[in-house]
Structure 1
Amino acid sequence: MSLTLCVMLWSVDGRQDDLAAYEDDVLALLGRHGARLVARVRNAETADDLPSEVQIIDVPSEAALAAYLDDPDRLAMGARREACVSRTELMRARYA
């Protein structure tokens, strides 16, 4: 069963550009797992209560999501993630 995910990311203060660069690299791995980025937007304002970036991602299955999350190249970027992402929320969504 396919999944639609809404991923909300908050950056560490002053690290919005680093978050965007990190996401450029990890999102490039989606295709390996049959997933695709549908939309990606960055917040035009600076507000701690709003996410810095929001993504809509379609994933073909739970197994594909697990494989993406466990991708060795993604995991190797963990230190970069820790340095620039302060919070992540993942919402399973559906198209209206």
Structure 2
Amino acid sequence: MDLLLVAIVEMADGHAEAGRRYEDAVLALLERHGGRLERRLRESGGTEVHVIRFAGRDGLDSFMADPGRLALRAELGDAAPATRVLEVRDI
């Protein structure tokens, strides 16, 4: 069963450009875990909203544990964006 997610990504104050580069890099990893970015939206203040679909929960779990993703996040430290992820469904 597909897993549909909405990620609300808040860039760290003063680090919007670094946050966008991080998001570019980690979103590129989705495909190797059976994920697909369906939409990427940005508001004028820099907050992004991503609509992401995975073939199943295993894909999300493997994406979250991806060593490349974890290394990128650790490299940013306090400049890393804060993300809230909602599991949603079409109605």
TM beyond 0.5:
yes
Q: Name the CA distance, whole Å, in 2 between partners of 1:39 and 1:9.
A: 13
C-alpha deviation, 1:69, in angstroms: 0.5
User: What's 1:87 paired with?
Assistant: 82
Code of the residue aligned with 2:25 in structure 1: it is D
1:73 counterpart residue number? 68
Partners of 2:23 and 2:40 lie apart in 1 by 10
TM-score, structure 2 normalization: 0.89
**Percent of pairs with identical residues:** 35
CA contact (8 A) 1:9 1:85 kept: no
Q: CA RMSD in A?
A: 1.5
| CA spacing shift, 1:42–1:61, aligned 2, 3 Å | same
Q: Please state which structure has a larger fraction of its residues in helix.
A: 2
Stretches of structure 2 that go unaligned for 5 or more consecutive residues are none
Matched AA of 1:75: L
CA contact (8 A) 1:12 1:86 kept: yes
C-alpha distance in 2 between matches for 1:19 and 1:60: 26
1:26–1:74 CA contact under 8 A, matched in 2: yes
Equivalent residue pairs, number: 91
C-alpha displacement of 1:81: 4.3
In structure 2, what is the Cα distance between the partners aligned to 1:19 and 1:83? 10
Aligned pair 1:27/2:27, yes or no?
yes
**Secondary structure of 2:14's match?**
coil
How far apart are the structure 2 equivalents of 1:81 and 1:66? 21
Query: How far apart, in 1, do the equivalents of 2:25 and 2:81 lie?
Result: 18
Equivalent residue, structure 1, for 2:45: 45
Unaligned runs of 5+ in 1: 47-51
